[in-house]
Amino acid sequence: MLLGPEETSSAAASSGDLKAGADRRPYRVLSLDGGGMRGVYTAEFLDRLTSYFARIRGEEALDLGKGFDLITGTSTGAIVASALAVGKPLHEVVDLYREKGKDIFPHRIKGVLSAMFRAFVLGSSPIRYGDKALREALEDVLGQIRVIDVYERRGISLAIPTVAMKTHRSWVFKKTPTSGPRDDLYPLVDVCMASSAAPIYRSLAAIDDPLAKHGLKQVFADGGLWANNPILVGMIDALASAAPGQPIEIFSLGTCSRPEGEHLTERQVHRSMLRWKLGADVAPLSITAQEFAFDNMARFLANILTKAGRPVRTLRFPKKDVPADMMPYLALDDARKKAIDRLIQQANSDADVTKSACDDPRNEDGRMVRDLMMDLPGMPASGIDWSTLP
C-alpha cells in the first residue's frame, strides 16, 4: 500500500520547496531490491500496475523502463532492472522465474539437515547447475545487449551493485552522464550474473573482462552483501547526473520481504554454525536490516537536501504488512510452484491497492505514481524491437 498523505515519504519540507522546480520534468530513478526468487513479485507487481494504465490510455503496453532516467537494481532486482532497461515485457521476466526457478535453485535449504545435506553430500553440484541455468535464462531475455547499448540507444542510465572479489570491495556496474567508460562493454547478462551471485545459494560469477587483452576474467559476488536495497546508490548518481535545480523522484520497490524478528533469551545467543543453517540464515537477516536502514537513511537525506534547496522525493512501495499466510513462501531459494503462485497473487493484490491510491486525488504518493504512469511512452505488447532503434 502506498503511504498516506500524513505518512508520506516525500522529502519536501513544504509544498513551496518543490515549486521552484515544478515546471521541470523530474529526474526519475527506479530502485529495485534483491530477494532471490521473490523477484517474481517485483516483476508481477510492475507488470500489473502498468497494464492498468495501458488500458486507461488505450496502449498495447507501456515502456516502464523509458520512464526513468536511471535504474538501479541489486541481485534479482538487477535482472528486473535490466529487462526494463532493454524494453522487455515484464511477463517474460515472470515466466523466467516460473519456468527456470527450479533449475536456478535446484536444492532448497529448508533447515539444518537440508543445509548439512547440501554441504556434505551434494557439494557444489546444485550451484554449478543453477549457475548454468541462470545464464541460459538471462541470455534468452537479454541477448547480447551491453551496458553502453542501453545508455546510447535507449537513453537510460544503469547502476548495478556487486562485490569485486579481488578486492572484497563494492563495485557498481554503471553508465551515467558522469561515469567513465570502465563498464561500457559488459553484457547485461554478465552484469546480472555478477550482481546475483549470492554466497551459499549460488556460484560466484566469473565473467570476461571486456577491456582485458589476454582473456582474463573478473570474479564477483552478490551486490546484496552491501546494497540489497540500492536506493542510496540511485540517489547519489541522480544527484551527480540531474540538472541543477531539477527535482529528483526516487521510486523504491521491495520484494515482499518477510517480517523478521526474534525474541531470544540469554541462553540462545550462543548460536552455532548449525543454528545459522551453515550460513544460510545470514542472508535473510542482512536483507531485512538493509531494507529498513537504507530506506530510512535515504528518506532522512532527502529531507535534508530538500531543505537545502535541492528537491528530492522518495517513495517506498508497496508499504504494508505481509499477510501471515505468505510466511511459508518467502525463502530466497523457494522455487516451488505454490510459492511462486502465492507471490504472484500477492503482487496482484498490492498492485490493485496501489492503483486505488493513484485514483485518490488526496493521496500525494498516488499522484506521484500516476504522473509517472501517464508520462510513460507506449510500446508494442511484444516489447521494444532493437532493430528499429537508432
What is the pLDDT at residue 228? 94
For the cut 70, the answer to whether the pLDDT of residue 13 exceeds it is no
For the cut 60, the answer to whether the pLDDT of residue 290 exceeds it is yes
Q: Higher confidence at residue 140 or residue 109? A: 140
For the cut 50, the answer to whether the pLDDT of residue 355 exceeds it is yes
Give the pTM.
0.88
CB atoms within 10 A of CB 227: 29
For the cut 70, the answer to whether the pLDDT of residue 51 exceeds it is yes
What is the pLDDT at residue 214? 78
Catalytic pick among 33, 69, 190, 222: 222
pLDDT digits (tens, 9 = 90+) for 238-288: 999 999 999 999 999 988 876 666 666 777 777 666 666 666 677 777 777
Q: Report the b/e string of 324-350 with b at 16+ CB within 10 A.
A: eebeebbbbbbbbeebbebbbebbbeb
For the cut 50, the answer to whether the pLDDT of residue 7 exceeds it is no
What is the pLDDT at residue 383? 97
What is the pLDDT at residue 18? 42
Catalytic pick among 10, 31, 75, 252: 75
Residue 75 annotated in active site: yes
What is the pLDDT at residue 3? 43
For the cut 80, the answer to whether the pLDDT of residue 142 exceeds it is yes
Domain topology for 24-258+294-379: Cytosolic phospholipase A2 catalytic domain (3.40.1090)
pLDDT, the chain, mean:
87
What is the pLDDT at residue 331? 84
Query: Any idea where the domains of the chain sit in the sequence?
Result: 24-258+294-379
For the cut 60, the answer to whether the pLDDT of residue 4 exceeds it is no
For the cut 80, the answer to whether the pLDDT of residue 193 exceeds it is yes
Residue 209 annotated in active site: no
For the cut 70, the answer to whether the pLDDT of residue 21 exceeds it is no
Q: Which residue in 101, 90, 110, 81 sits closest to 45, CA to CA?
A: 90
Q: Higher confidence at residue 142 or residue 127? A: 142
Per-residue pLDDT band for 388 (boundaries 50, 70, 90) equals very high
Per-residue pLDDT band for 291 (boundaries 50, 70, 90) equals confident
pLDDT digits (tens, 9 = 90+) for 212-229: 887 789 999 999 999 999
Share of residues in the chain with pLDDT > 90 (%): 68
